Structure 1
Amino acid sequence: MSSRHLLLALGVALIWGVNFVVIDVGLAHFPPLLFSALRFLVAAVPAIFFLRSPGVPWRWVALVALFLGVVKFSLLFSGMAAGMPPGLSSLVLQAQAPFTLVFAVLLLRERLTRRQVLGMVVALVGLGVIALDLGATSPLGAFLLLLGAAAAWGVSNVVMRRAAPPDMLRFMVWVSALAVLPLCALSALFEGPQRGWDALRTVTWPAAGSVLFVGLMATVVGFGVWGGLIRTYSASTVAPFSLLVPVFGMAAAAVFTGERLTPLRILAAALIIAGVLSGLVRDRRPAVRAPGPSSTPGSTPPARTPSRAR
């Protein structure tokens, strides 16, 4: 990876990590469902008028809009509004990795390697350490909402893998557009139109800035650059940089909000990141082939060199 692309990958991880602190600022003013709707509105408009169709069947766009746009971010923002600190939220959300593996097995009939199973166990132990550190007075309900958000993200990852969009930026803009109306409806139903109107009528500069940052920087710029890096190199090369998101998130929360980095939380971060990384590393053992043109049942085909974008 060139030095320029390395800086871009680090920059996206930094944006996505700091994003959790910015979300916390927005949630201090907006109710969570309305804030999520505004985030996707900013991500979709005006970009949607300058981009072509997503390039995949609309059913895949609708499913990702449901699980990622509506369910994941509704649970994430609601959990943070209920008391989950931003740095810890950035870490707990990494549970999406083991959830993705589980759903890939259930929905795509993929087979897990021993290394992936071990990685899931290590990551789950890290989540258990977080639950232990939260203690009896902590917002357990908010923690469960974050786990639900991670599970919804796992489902959307499997759907996106099946859809294989050719351009992640276009895909995410259309996903954002489809998520706006359901989120507005949920906000009106559960938060009330008056509460939403009061938040919009009395909006402050920090609140407005948080919507713009989360919608434009974290969504449009972040996914645009990330998708470009994956097309240039490969998912296996770029994906490990996402492990820096909770590192930047917890560091930003410690600096800007005074969130404590307890020894248990540092241990949990190490376990979760190690578990996720274990699932990303490919098994490089050579395939075992039987005599003849076909390989033996259950053998692993030889790894192909990732092709680079032309």
Structure 2
Amino acid sequence: MVAKRTLALALITAVLFGGTFVAAKAGLAYFPPLLFVALRFDVAAVALAAFAVATHSRDQLRPRTRGDLAGILATGVFAIGLANALLFVGQQYATSAVGAIVFGLNPILTPVLAAGLLADERLSRRGVVGLALGLVGVALVVDPDPATLFAGGVGKLLLFAGALSGALGSVLIRRADGTLSSTARTAWGLPFGAALCHLLSLSAGESVAAVTWSQEALLALGYVGLLAGAVAYITYFELLDVAGAVRANLVFYVTPAVATLGGWALLGESISALTVAGFLTIFAGFAVLGSASIDVRALLERAAPSRPVGTKVPDRPNDDADRSAFEHAGD
């Protein structure tokens, strides 16, 4: 059974990450992509650092082991920095629907990487079926146009590399097995992600002068920095610690659905019957994954009617002795 706390972390993470697609679509009209990501991490790093200092002691914030350092670097460089940089740049060369389905490969890539790098996270055959159903559901939700799905190879390679970076980062964090809490580890990792994206932005020739400052730009930056940044990273990396890399990254199956609903509610976008079918397919995938941890035989045994202690009921009392024992059982 899934703990209520774990389910709450998953829902919060999925909703906040799903809203990122809506806010990013609005923000990219005012910011260069890499600079947008870098500024997002600047805001998130300051907010999360203040939260970590207020809720943790110095000893709790101090990295102590090689695992702590490895977890911080995996968080900042792979799970946060490269994943988001590649996502925002690749999105320029592909539609949002294609971007969502390519980045939705994260839950498929994670168990593949975990199988080679983690000894305690393996999927059963039923789990593989659940993952496949989730991927089909994502495809139905975003409804990519076949005419554009295979076009724009550069953008799709960047998006795939972003999904791979995010999956690799989550697996490396679990492999590091550090002593820091998820909040402390993320607070240390965000500045590395911000620094990496600023360097990439400078190397790409982006400039702050290219930013068009407006109320909409500030709202978009505030959302991706504070809500989809600081808050969502706290819940996501805590979910990673309690649920594991494979199950934690299942939230990326839900984010396209959240983004679609957000577009419908905030931008007036329509939801087709195919999208509803996608939602149901994603739900079916989660149901299959959840059933993988249920002992069906034990449930059937518990549901069977109980008999008095000592009662013996043979299947077929073929001879007189067996028939007599059957008739007088329990006397």
Please state which band the TM-score falls in when normalised by the shorter chain: 0.7 to 0.9
Q: How far apart are residue 38 of structure 1 and its match?
A: 0.9
2:91 corresponds to 1:80 = yes
Q: Determine the structure 1 residue equivalent to 2:76.
A: 65
Query: Secondary structure of the equivalent of 2:147?
Result: coil
Counterpart in the other structure of 1:257: 267
Report the CA distance shift for 1:70/1:23 in structure 2 as closer, same or farther (over 3 A): same
- Alpha-carbon spacing, 1:262–1:181, altered in 2? closer, same or farther (3 Å): same
Post-superposition shift, 1:156?
Answer: 1.3
Aligned counterparts, 1:41-120, within 5 A: 41-45=42-46, 47-48=48-49, 51=53, 52-53=61-62, 56-85=67-96, 89=99, 92-109=102-119, 110-120=121-131
Deviation at 1:151, TM superposition (A): 2.0
**Inter-partner Cα distance in structure 2 for 1:282 and 1:272:** 16
Following the alignment from structure 2 to structure 1, what is the Cα–Cα distance between the partners of residues 167 and 231? 22
Q: Distance in 1 between matches of 2:141 and 2:15?
A: 23
Among 289, 294, 315, the alignment partner of 1:284 is 294
Q: 2:163 aligns with which of 150, 161, 177?
A: 150
Identify if the C-alpha distance between structure 1 residues 280 and 218 changes in structure 2 by more than 3 Å, giving closer, same or farther.
farther
CA distance in 1, matches of 2:127, 2:172: 20
Within the candidate set 117, 122, 125, 2:133 is matched to 122
Equivalent pair of 2:10/2:248 in contact (CA under 8 Å)? no
Pairing 1:176–2:190 present: yes
Q: CA deviation at 1:177?
A: 0.6
Q: Alignment partner of 1:149: what SS?
A: helix
Q: Which has the larger radius of gyration?
A: 2
Q: Please, which runs of 5 or more residues in structure 2 have no aligned partner?
A: 54-60, 298-331
Matched, 1:161 2:156: no
3-state SS of 1:57 partner: helix
Query: How do 1:3-18 and structure 2 match up within 5 A?
Result: 10-18=11-19
Deviation of the 1:246 alpha carbon: 3.0
Correspondence 1:134 to 2:152: no
1:40 and 1:179 in contact (8 A); partners too: yes
The CA deviation at 1:128 is: 6.1
The one of 232, 239, 256 equivalent to 1:246 is: 256
Q: More deviation in 58-67 or 42-51? A: 42-51
Residue 179 of structure 1: SS of its match in structure 2? Answer: helix
The percent identity for this pair of structures is 29
Q: 1:273 to 1:284 in 2, by over 3 A?
A: closer
- 1:70 deviates by 2.3
Question: Any conservation in 2 of the 1:169–1:220 contact (CA below 8 Å)?
Answer: no
Q: Which amino acid aligns with 2:293?
A: D
Q: TM-score, normalised by structure 2?
A: 0.69
Aligned match of 1:290: none
Aligned length in residues: 279
Alignment check: 8 A CA contact 2:75 2:169 kept? yes
Indicate the SS of the match to 2:201. helix
CA RMSD of aligned residues (A): 3.7
Which of 230, 245, 252 does residue 220 from structure 1 map onto?
A: 230
**Which whole-Å CA distance do the structure 1 matches of 2:3 and 2:141 have between them?**
37
TM-score by length of 1: 0.73
